Amino acid sequence: MKAGQKDIFYITGTSKEQLEKSPFLERLTKKNYEVIFFTDPVDEYLMQYLMDYEDKKFQNVSKEGLKLGKDSKDKELKESFKELNKWWKSALANENIDDVKISNRLADTPCVVVTSKYGWSANMERIMQSQTLSDSSKQAYMRGKRVLEINPRHPIIKELRERVVKDPEDESVKQTARLIYQTALMESGFILNDPKDFASKIYSSVKSSLNISPDATVEEEDDVEEVEMESSTNEAESLSNTEDAPTDDADTEPSAVKDEL
């Protein structure tokens, strides 16, 4: 462990390659802190009971309460994003979001979704959902609450704050905020409840970037060709049946042979 690193940091996931790209590691990587990668499903169960090692506490970097030395977030910065945090939490009223806060773990990513300290991690949720006989009521209890942590230095977050100040009731801004949240949810390792809705929002965004009218519809398919093909198929089948049908000669030939015998 690097000098000044007080806790043993770790993160859980499906593979080393996936964890190396995790947004939860951005500030830790810049500080050259050591982080343990747990990629075996049994590690999730183990870390629920293993709290410390040689007086060093374990700390999951994907959960809330991450401490990286002294808190560098000044009061003025927190105050300047107070209204955005409040507005964003309201915009996500239908989601399982407990709070929106400024993050101390991000460097290049706009935002991430972290879980409560004693709840399941995103990886644990995935493991439990894949079990055939999983208890849905227990899952709802152990999922815990989610917190959206934002990067106040990121241009997307700064621009969103300016848009909210201008018009907090702008529906397009609310739609953008929900899309950013769903993207962060997926990047943080969670499974989207409604992938279809997420895909629909992405396609709407693509339409806007390509200057396509949001009212533009899919061109209707021409069914004439299909009708013609079906008619041709029926004709071919009819012709085939005619060719396969026995002729009169074929019918009489066996009888003639029989009479001769």
Q: What is the pLDDT of residues 230-258, one digit of tens each?
A: 666 666 666 666 655 555 554 545 554 44
C-alpha separations of 190 from 63, 84, 120, 230 in Å: 13, 24, 11, 47
Residue with tokens 């201008």: 166
Ranges of H-type helices in 8-154: 16-20, 26-30, 41-46, 75-80, 82-91, 122-129, 136-142
3-state secondary structure of 101: strand
Instruction: Please measure the distance between the N-terminal and C-terminal CA atoms of the chain and give it in whole angstroms.
Output: 104
Q: What per-residue confidence (pLDDT) applies to 136?
A: 61
Residue 34 has pLDDT above 50, yes or no: yes
Between 85 and 118, where is the model more confident? 85
Q: Buried (b) or exposed (e) across 170-184, using 16+ Cβ within 10 A?
A: eeebbebbbbbbbbb
Q: What per-residue confidence (pLDDT) applies to 252?
A: 47
pTM: 0.78
The burial of 24, by beta-carbon neighbours within 10 Å (0-12 exposed, 13-18 middle, 19 or more buried), is given as buried
CB 35 within 8 A of CB 72: no
